[in-house]
Amino acid sequence: MADLDRLRRLLGGEETEWLLDRLRRRMINGKPLSGIVTLGSATHDQRRAIERLLGRRAGTGTSLSVSLDEVDAILRRSGAAPDGLADVAKLLIGTVPDREREAVAWAAAHQPLDNLAAQRPELATWRGWLDSTGMVRRLASDPGAASALTSAAVRVLTELPSKGIALGRLAAETSGDAHGLDDGRPLATIVLSAARCLRGTPPVGDGTAGERRASWAAVGVHRDELSSSVLCLGLSGGADTVTGRILALARESGEPCVLTLRQLNAAILGVGSGVVSVCENPIVLASAADELGPGCPPLVCVNGQPSAAVWRLLDLLAADGARFRYHGDFDWGGIRIGNTLRDRISWQPWRFDAATYTATAATGGPLAGRPADASWDPGLRPALERRQVRIEEELVLPVLLDDLRALVC
């Protein structure tokens, strides 16, 4: 039977309170009462108390390290606690409240998300939204299920943005369940909300299938080979493939062409080298079709964050030797799209730099959102921050169309 008076003399004072605190933390976390515990910046009295307990010097320096296994053995031999630290925990600490243990377990379940957000600041808004809504607790019945869910979410998000992958394949490779990212599944809810933030939109969508499809596409995930598409105009296709012939007919008629990922996966376009202009918004391409028709030079629209089909087309054009120039909206979302493109293909700014922004008289609404550096022009972010207005492509259409005409001449 434990000697409570001796235990209180050895471990019940203020000088050893830190040691009992370390034991209590281990109990809360469900860890064994063994191993080394350390106190930084130990006082003289704290060191002397440990030396009385151990019966020897406790080292030198400012920190103080104690082997719980040694303490356990000493207490057993001395008879102060025949059952070792188990007796100490029972008599001096008591039972750890279940609610406290549960709180620690939930915090541990969220830790993978914290680590990911620390590594990827662009997910900070998403991480805060998860906490504010209690989303993980709503989707998982207990800390164990939550831990499995958050770990799976991190595995998926580590692979995103992707250069192009089917949703079912991504789910199978990261979670072991090909349907794990289907609509309504807990994992899909967590990951899709993060995809929206990577896209530059709020973590909550509008509830439509189109919005979900667009959000997946923004991080390079396609639900199938037909739902991912790309809009283009003026691409001269070859006669060797169906896709090449489709492009040739569209160019001859001066009409925009919508190509699916399926049409591009095994395509040899036969477009050839030359300058390909890339824009962010469909209005640019539609206006070019209206005003230039069959005379429009090659033009591709990314339509927001590039989809898998956009990436595939750009890769095929690059393989043919195409040289790209890009124009997007002068706002934080537009800069992020430009950065995403520049991470994968080489392009030159097409009136998409600080000098052009500063000289443009047109103005849209107020600039909103989280700022971003432009990898192609360090001066663009400061210019936007000074002026605090956004300029969409629609507002500079005449100049862009003149540039396209100049390429034909």
Tokens 């443009």 belong to 360
Tokens representing 248? 């040739």
CA distance 300 to 267: 17
Return the SS3 of 152.
Answer: helix
Q: Where in the chain is the domain with CATH 3.40.1360?
A: 229-408
pLDDT at 40: 82
pLDDT at 258: 94
Tokens representing 350? 């097409």
pLDDT, averaged in runs of 10, over the chain (409 residues): 76 82 77 84 85 81 85 84 79 66 83 92 91 90 90 94 85 90 91 90 82 84 79 87 88 93 76 87 96 95 87 89 95 93 92 95 86 95 95 94 88
b/e burial code for range 198-220 (CB count within 10 A of at least 16 → b)? bbbbebebeeeeeebbbbbbbbb
pLDDT at 266: 63
The Cα-based distances of 174 to 153, 178, 254, 324 in angstroms read: 9, 9, 44, 34
Q: What is the pLDDT of residues 53-83, one digit of tens each?
A: 888 887 777 788 888 888 888 888 888 788 8
- Do residues 286 and 257 touch, judged by C-beta distance below 8 A? no
Q: What are phi and psi of 300, to 5 degrees?
A: -125, 140
pLDDT at 99: 58
CA distance 67 to 63: 14
Pairing state of beta strands 347-349 and 322-327? parallel
pLDDT at 21: 83
- Do residues 63 and 42 touch, judged by C-beta distance below 8 A? yes
Domain 229-408 - what CATH class?
alpha beta
Q: What are phi and psi of 48, to 5 degrees?
A: -65, -40
Q: What are phi and psi of 276, to 5 degrees?
A: -115, 120
Tokens representing 12? 């019940």
- Do residues 305 and 218 touch, judged by C-beta distance below 8 A? yes
Tokens 């235990």 belong to 7
E strands present in 101-242: 165-166, 221-222, 229-233
E strands present in 28-169: 36-39, 64-67, 165-166
pLDDT at 192: 94
CA distance 263 to 267: 7
- Do residues 25 and 4 touch, judged by C-beta distance below 8 A? no
DSSP state of 90: I
CA distance 319 to 306: 18
Return the SS3 of 324.
Answer: strand
